[in-house]
Chains A and B, each alone.
Chain A
């Protein structure tokens, strides 16, 4: 059973460019969340997708957008890249998009991340 996969592993871009990161959730999971993790910091929530719609959003500008496909995979797009966008971008999936988790807690299963460097 494959876990969460992300591509590419590493990416180097220059300021002002646009980037697309991809994520395939764990089998059986229908909800995908994206996090940004700067060096030495904990992950910060960007947004969450369920049923192909953005369900929740963190404190990130509109330059950050996403998409979820019918097979539950997801993309994160960042436009007009800034130096400060350099970070590890993590995708996380969970299986309880349509209902409250039986345990009452939504454990996240993370992928290995995409390391984005903006020069």
Chain B
């Protein structure tokens, strides 16, 4: 089956450090991957999209990479802050590319 997997283990890091979250996919090659942030009891909020022909995409303190050889996307938050604490979701297109299949998310806690 076409899976998208995120490390379900919660990630705790110290403020100011770089957080790195992983998204792995198997048995297919997505045209792009999307990353979303979700706060408790709220809907996901779109952060970044990276296409299969892009190695890296940046937005302020956020950076996403896409390695089609490793079948993996890495999501980095540099100079992390307690306000970055949330669950981060990776998503791929599916169906006719008009729907998203999400990973289970990684819960990030930035400790002050």
A interface vs B, CB < 8 Å?
A: 4, 31, 33, 40-45, 48, 55-56, 58, 88, 90, 92, 94, 103-113, 115
Contact = CB atoms under 8 A, between A and B. Distances in A.
B98 interface: yes
Interface of B: 6, 8, 31-32, 34, 36, 41-46, 49, 51, 89, 91, 93-105
A105 B98 contact: no
A2 to B, nearest CB: 14
A31 B100 CA distance: 14
Given A4-B43, A104-B32, A56 B99 contact: yes
Contacts of B93: 105-106
Contacts of A105: 31-32, 34, 49, 51, 93
What 4 A-B pairs come out closest when comparing CB atoms? A42-B102, A110-B43, A45-B99, A42-B104
Contact of A33 (B32, B34, B49, B99): B99
Contact of B42 (A45, A94, A108, A113): A113
B46 A55 contact: no
